[in-house]
Structure 1
Amino acid sequence: MKKHLALLLLLLVAGCDMLGIESPEKVAASREADGKAIGGACRHAGRAIEDCYALNKKADRAAVFAGWREMNDYMRENKIDEVHPQLAGAAPAAKASEDGDGERAEKAPAKGREAKARDKAKAHES
């Protein structure tokens, strides 16, 4: 009976990977990969590394920098231009200001991420 119990426990412990329990190594590797992806995307979008850090506070800074640097080297070697981000929320605000309705657009209450995106777009334009 003890042998069966020991065998059952051994099988249960061996199946821990199938249960979705992540080891610290897997979590660290995932965070590093995410940070590198964030850094590469920031560089491709033409953002400064400081802006990238500010926008992604939870990401590992070393991994973000490594991804940013790798993408910078890749873009230089292959002569790839930056792709400037185009925010969906910034286009209607710009159109409204061209029509002379800019005052109403600025006075309207801003909510959530769209407002932050518009503010950033305005800051980058000036």
Structure 2
Amino acid sequence: MTLRRPSDAAPRGRRSLLHLALLGATLLSLAGCDIPGLGPDPRVLQREAEARAIGGACRHALRGLEDCFTLNPKAPKALVFAGWKDMDQYMRENKLEGTPSVLTELQKPAAEAPAARRSRDADEADEGRSTRNRG
């Protein structure tokens, strides 16, 4: 049987308290840090903010949601709707009138119809034949 000294138990208890205190201080100091890679991606946040802004701008321009979705196909629809709804609420609360959009529709250069292209090509060919026959 070994006899323990009362002074041996005290340092072990103090050491564990010291370790626990250091661990707690370390965790508290890290809690306020922004560790890279742990937060949301800034590109995703920017895309979400832009989609909300698009929705708000559509509402202010007196556009319907369907038109807004059509004009901005890459924007997330849920966020566009959220921006549209927020702007609608803001405009109603402050009794603001919307500003009609000057741009009614985006006009894409339409490809010529095949029949119209054929007739134009035929006309050009006829002109070429007539100039050759003259000379």
Please point out which of 33, 38, 41 is paired with 1:25: 41
Residues 44-77 of structure 1: CA deviation (Å, up to 9, x unaligned) = 0000011100100000111101100000000000
Residues 5-45 of structure 1: CA deviation (Å, up to 9, x unaligned) = xxxxxxxxxxxx8xxxxx86211101100000000000000
Would you say 1:34 and 2:34 are equivalent positions?
Answer: no
Which residue of 2 is the match for residue 76 of structure 1? 92
Which residue of 2 is the match for residue 104 of structure 1? none
| Structure 1 segment 2-21 matched on structure 2, within 5 A | none
- In the alignment of these two chains, the number of paired residues is 70
- What is the DSSP-based 3-state SS (H/G/I as helix, E as strand, rest coil) of the residue aligned with 1:32? helix
Structure whose CA Rg is larger: 2
Would you say 1:60 and 2:76 are equivalent positions?
Answer: yes
Shift of 1:85: 1.1
> Which AA in structure 1 matches 2:64?
A
> Which AA in structure 2 matches 1:64?
V
Unaligned runs of 5+ in 2: 1-35, 109-135
Q: CA RMSD in A?
A: 2.0
> Which AA in structure 2 matches 1:37?
A
Please point out which of 60, 67, 86 is paired with 1:51: 67
For the residues of structure 1 that align with 2:87 and 2:40, how far apart are their CA atoms? 27
Identical-pair percentage: 51
> Which AA in structure 2 matches 1:77?
E
For the residues of structure 1 that align with 2:101 and 2:82, how far apart are their CA atoms? 21
Shift of 1:82: 1.1
> Which AA in structure 2 matches 1:36?
R
